Structure 1
C-alpha cells in the first residue's frame, strides 16, 4: 500500500526526470504499481481511510511521485456535473489540444509540494489523450475543464515539469490570455 511516506517531495531528482515508456504489455510488477497508485488516490479521498493512514487528499498521482521513472498515472476525480472519472493509465499522451486555455481560480496543489504556491497555472481548456488502461485496453479520451487540468498536471510529472513552472513569476495572478476560469 502506498502511503504519504512513499511520496517524494519537491526537490527530489525523480520529479525532474523524463519518465520512460512502459513496454506493453505491462509487466505484473508495473500492473501492481499502477493498481496501488489508483488505490492510493481513491483512499486519499475517503475521510476515514485518509485520517487512518494520514493521507493528504489528492485527485491524481504520477509514478515519478513515488520514485518510479515510468509513464504511469492514476486519476480519480469528478467533472463539473459530478460524474466520477477513474483512470489508471500506462503511457498517457496528449495528442491534441485546444488553443483556448483554462486555469483553476484556486490555483493548483500537488502531493509532492507541501506548501501552497499561489498563482494561476495556464492549461489547455480541452485535450485529447491516448493511453493504455491497467487492463491493456487502448483508449482515446476527450477531456475538458477540471479533468483536462488534472490530466495535464499528471502528464507534466511524466515530463519532469512541476505545476509552479507554469506560473507567471512576475505576476502570479495575471489571468492567462484567452483563458476560461474554472472554479473548484
Structure 2
C-alpha cells in the first residue's frame, strides 16, 4: 500500500523528468504499480482510512510521484453530475482539446507539493485522451470540467511539468484569455 511517505516531494529530480513509455502488453509489475496508484487515491478519499494512515485526499496520482518514472496515471473523482470518473491509464496522451480554457478559482493542489501555491492554472475545458487500460487495451476518453483538469494535471506529471509552471509569475490571478472559471 502506498502511503504519504512514498510520495516524493517538490524538488525531487524524478518530478522533472519526462517519464518513459510503458511497454505493452503491460507487465504484471506495471499493472501492480498502476493498481497501487488507484488504491492510494481511493483510500485517500475514504475518511476513516485516510485518517488512520494520515493520507492527504487526492483525485489523481502519477507514477513519477512515487519515484517510478513511467507513463502511468490514476484518476478517481465524481463530476458535477455525480458521475464517477475512475481511470487507470498507461501512456495517456491528449489527442485533441478545446480552444476554450478553464481553471479552478481556488487554484490547484498536488500531493507532491506541501504548500499552497496561489494562482490560476489554465487548462483546456475539454480534452480527448488516448491511452491503454490495465489490460493493455486502447481506450479513448472525452472529458470536461474537473475530470478534464485532473487528467491534464496527471499527464503533466509524466511530462515533468508541475501545476505551478502554468501560473503567471508576475500576476498569479491575471484573467486567463478565452477561459471561464470552473464553478462547482
Pair in the same fold by TM > 0.5: yes
Q: Is the 8 A contact 2:25 2:135 kept in 1?
A: no
- SS of equivalent residue, structure 1 residue 40: helix
Q: Deviations over 1:46-105 (max 9, x none)?
A: 000000110000000000000001000000011111111111100000001111100001
CA distance in 2, matches of 1:52, 1:68: 25
Q: Distance in 2 between matches of 1:41 and 1:123?
A: 22
Would you say how many aligned residue pairs link Structure 1 and Structure 2?
A: 184
Question: What is the alpha-carbon distance in structure 2 between the residues aligned to residue 84 and residue 142 of structure 1?
Answer: 14
Question: Which deviates further from its counterpart, 132-141 or 4-13?
Answer: 132-141
The offset of 1:155, in angstroms, is: 0.1
Question: Secondary structure of 2:90's match?
Answer: strand
Following superposition, the deviation at residue 135 of structure 1 comes to 2.4
Which residue in 2 is equivalent to 1:93?
A: 93
2:38 alignment counterpart: 38
**Partner residue, 1:181:** 181
Taking structure 2 as the reference length, the TM-score comes to: 0.98
Secondary structure of the corresponding residue to residue 89 of structure 1:
strand
Aligned to 1:163: 163
Contact residue 78 and residue 84 of structure 2 kept, 8 A: yes
Q: Tell me the SS of whatever aligns to 1:42.
A: helix
User: 1:15·1:160 contact (CA, 8 Å) conserved in 2?
Assistant: yes
Normalised by the length of structure 1, the TM-score is 0.98
Displaced runs of 4 or more, over 2 A = none
Distance in 2 separating the partners of 1:118 and 1:183: 17
- What is the CA–CA distance in structure 2 between the aligned matches of 1:92 and 1:17, rounded to whole Å? 16
Q: How far apart, in 1, do the equivalents of 2:18 and 2:39 lie? A: 24
Equivalent residue number for residue 25 of structure 2: 25
Partner of 2:124: 124
Superposed CA offset, 1:102-155 (max 9, x none)? 000110000000000000000011110000111222110111111110000000
Deviations 1:144-169 (A, max 9, x none): 11111000000000000000000000
Question: What SS does structure 1 have at the residue aligned with 2:142?
Answer: strand
Q: Which residue of 2 aligns with 1:65?
A: 65
